[in-house]
Amino acid sequence: MPHGPDPNARAKGGNPPSADTFENQILSLVPSLRRYSRSLAKSDSDGEDLLQDCVEKVLVRRGQWRGVNLRAWAFTIMTNLYRDRHRRIVQHPSVELDDTLGLTAEDVSGDPLEKTRLHNALNALSADHRSVLMLVVIEGYGYQDVADMLVIPIGTVMSRLSRARRQMAAHLAENNIVTLRRPK
């Protein structure tokens, strides 16, 4: 299981490391944070917003980092931010101006219909289910790691994962669509 570049990085004497070190460590985490934020968000711009909020929060809260596994700590912050946003959006849906299923340049190489279908299925998941699914499937975290990161019992991780997978499967099957090989 990949666990980031420096799971054992530890600040000496409990003090936060020097600004340069900390920021460089964050910088090296940005790509995987970007992937996680995009996997949670509804669009590219939404994903970048979430990433930016997360990096800001990580920098502001650097004093609270206990010096262990910066990647997991940043992922926890991201997950909480995402849950808060999601709750706000559900309560005030009009606030989200850029809620579009953006297909940007890098997406067009794939199958746009397939992507739309997948994104629709993902968007139907609750924030809690989606984050667990992504942490396990995309980010490769173990079940206990996810439980620790989200401060929930491992049983809850498993039930969310089951629920997310079954809901996705049902949603994807619902469309009565089967992919066929092109006659080329």
By CB under 8 A, name the binding residues for other proteins.
1, 19, 23, 26-27, 30-32, 34-35, 38-39, 47-49, 51-53, 55-56, 59-60, 95, 97, 100-103, 106, 108-120, 133-134, 136-138, 142-143, 158, 161-162, 165-166, 168-169, 172, 175-183
Nearer to other proteins, 67 or 102 (CB): 102
Euclidean distance between CA atoms 177 and 76, whole angstroms: 36
Question: Is the CB of 64 or the CB of 100 nearer to other proteins?
Answer: 100
- Cα 28 to Cα 162: distance, rounded to the nearest angstrom: 32
Q: At what angle do helices 154-174 and 143-150 cross, to 10 degrees?
A: 110
Closest separation between CB of residue 111 and other proteins, Å?
Answer: 5
Q: How far is the CB of 161 from other proteins (least distance, A)?
A: 6
Q: Which is nearer to other proteins, 49 or 67 (CB)?
A: 49
Give the nearest distance from C-beta 128 to other proteins in angstroms: 16
**What sign does the CA torsion over 55, 83, 150, 142 have?**
negative
Residues 6 or more apart whose CB falls under 8 angstroms from that of 165 comprise 133
CA 62 to CA 77: how far, in whole Å? Answer: 11
Smallest separation (angstroms) from other proteins to the CB of 82: 14
> Of 46 and 69, which has the nearer Cβ to other proteins?
46
Tokens of 86: 């999601």
Q: How far is the CB of 79 from other proteins (least distance, A)?
A: 15
What residue type is 67 in one-letter code?
G
Q: Measured from the CB atom, is 103 or 127 closer to other proteins?
A: 103
CB atoms within 10 A of CB 4: 19
